Structure 1
């Protein structure tokens, strides 16, 4: 009876050539064979039960058994990731990965003992590794997403015990949740989410007088909720814990605040890009000052007619700060960083006479930094009101249109865009440290330019443009137009140089979007342009001879780990290593460019 069979007996039954041999010492190979056999049995049994069951009672028990199998598999995945990291599996050579992929594809010879696994490397690997770390190994060898692989590696320390650099055993960071995962008493996804969110609360917990005791109590509460409640209830509990920790801190350290700062891109929905901006108080003040500047109609920065024209025409600004409609923008950066001066900016003029203002009292009434720090100009520029009545979401985020035809958020956005468009474009031609000089790359076919196509072009980062936006963007001085034919081959880009200059680089990135390697998410700004034929062997530098690769995959190409080939449409594709793609078909990265984005291009 299998009812009383333990794991060792099952391994003996499936131990390949030594199965059933009395006194045989079980090896790790025997255990691995038994695991694969058990998986095959579980897969076949699930199909049989699903096909033969007509009883709702049996179906209910089947659902429970399947859920248990899912939870067991989730824990096994984490154990496998931890084992791969501990044994440095990512350092194996390519030939070993090819052999393992073949065994996984057809394990029958291995299970029966006809074939064996490749030998472990006898020496430390030399040269470039196939995978640089465990995350890359999991993503590439198992064909899972990078972020899923990264989360598994991060979950190892949260939910598995380990050893430190001295070889001393260390418990899991969240032992209660780790036990629930091992026992299968809760949904693995919810356990992982709870551990991740508790991990993010560590800085706040560490501010408590007894952080260890508090961390244990909070984990107990969250673990109980994960076991007994639905995910929404657990999410509310975690949100409440975070709020309590934040409200209880009288003076939140900057290290905690900084973990939450940043500009987060939420994606493009309904034709609109959405960003979430979180800033430290001092940076918030700078943004509020910019908003106040654009809200003040008595300054150039708040010129109502100019802002409206910019918002409607999306006219770019040149390196000298000219907005193309109303003269130069307010160059406040240089004036704010310069030494104090007794003279006043020439853009502060008397509305009645148009002459520069020189009276200090009048200037103070117009200033963004009045003597009373608790006051600022109101949005109409008619006087001073308490700051609390100005810098509030209700007033700053109102959707009511002003006399200039813009809402406050639209006006603030235009001011920020103007700063971005002039940033780093000094009159000397030299770029400024920390200030990017953004260039908009617009890719369009000839038919799109003529208005004869259903599509209307895309930007270098995949943003689809309407016909009006395409025409307006091409009129901007900061836009680089790239004209393609129906097969994405460049017809006209102008001049050529020996090395890939910026305009060629932008064009190549515009075609491919980013790294050519399938699934690679390295931003295009970090990519390198690789020659199809090396310059040293007679290759030339022109648009059709270049392709973008990130540093890692660029090195992989030069070391022979991957092959780049020109496809039938004239564009480059990648042939992956055999263990990653047994079919050895040319493939292209669909992360940056997909057929649905712009059908005429690809």
Structure 2
């Protein structure tokens, strides 16, 4: 057990470095403890860790010389082995954090003479922060995860299984069933950080899903973590959360009055400061407009309409007409109507900014992105947009409220919000038909039309190359069968690719085919995958949550 060392102030005040710099922190040293029957086990554990530290240090010293003459494949294999070792070390970190918390709590409870509480730390997390020199957030993360995936004991000393058994199995190193000895390459399958993503997801859903659903999710998310990166795991977990708890917790009008809005702050360093707290649909409009400036696929577009008309030929309504203000034309004697608008000034400022974004999107005057004008595009299943029972007053109104769509930038959006947006004349819903009669133009056109581009955006939602995360507005429309080789300009022969992967495909090492679902699949070259198994990008369309096991 560790404790704060002697009080440095007892030696004549606060201790300072020799050069008169900042005060030194109190040192931590081991508290002397009585001989016990566990000393042998503790000594063995210390020897094990010391030997491991020597081996890691030796590997770190020799690695630069080994890597200096290694090939690309050898370097990649070295990095993969190092990551396997890191997952094993992360498991040791969890064991250590859990053991510190257990022994520290026991010592404080038993009121030992040299109590750990004497070290001045408020709790175990603070002790780990000081002793291990890690952020307090990381210390808390390890303690929370250790409680979820490590076995424990009850008050009588009987062993208890971990609360998350499926995740515990994935994060624990495996051993040979015959010898009980760990085998090379059989370390933890899931990193502790991926395990934290999984436990956080289960905690969010514990009040919104049945025990069977939670068990199925706990069983499937570690499997996904073994095959994907944490970014995709986070997206997959968020997608399952949105499906299971589609509506979430809607903020009340009073809550919005206290938090929502565009707030003008004091200028800093000669720059004006505006702080915005927006709903998902407001934020999507802002991101869509800002994307026209940050999008690498942006192209300049000149406005061809006169000043008095917008691009659709409608008169400019930005200037007030005489009839728009009746109080100035004989209406002053009338009693003014009560002000029913309860929005705060900050809310009105935000609504004005979003209205400007909507107007800019409708005028077709913004720079084009990837072949079409910037516009808010949402994808949603027909059954969710038009539920079978739309009457919220019925007993089965819950089915009408469930469901969600997807924005190009923001991500999931409740179906109720999309139904409200669909009423706006400036927002055009794009529906994918089963045959695509209107969208398929044959070989008369080489470039994809805006309508076809919208259909590809609704279907692909981003670059379709495996594991790519570039959103649709930053992508280019690509002919699966080249136009020069007789390929038609149709949605079935098109797919979205980012600039990097578009160039990669034209090197003709990767091949594109169409899966049974009608979506693109990519066949890697033999030196990447000798089996050349077709791969698809599930980043934008993660699979649905698992069903409970029967």
Q: TM-score, normalised by structure 1?
A: 0.38
Q: TM-score, normalised by structure 2?
A: 0.41
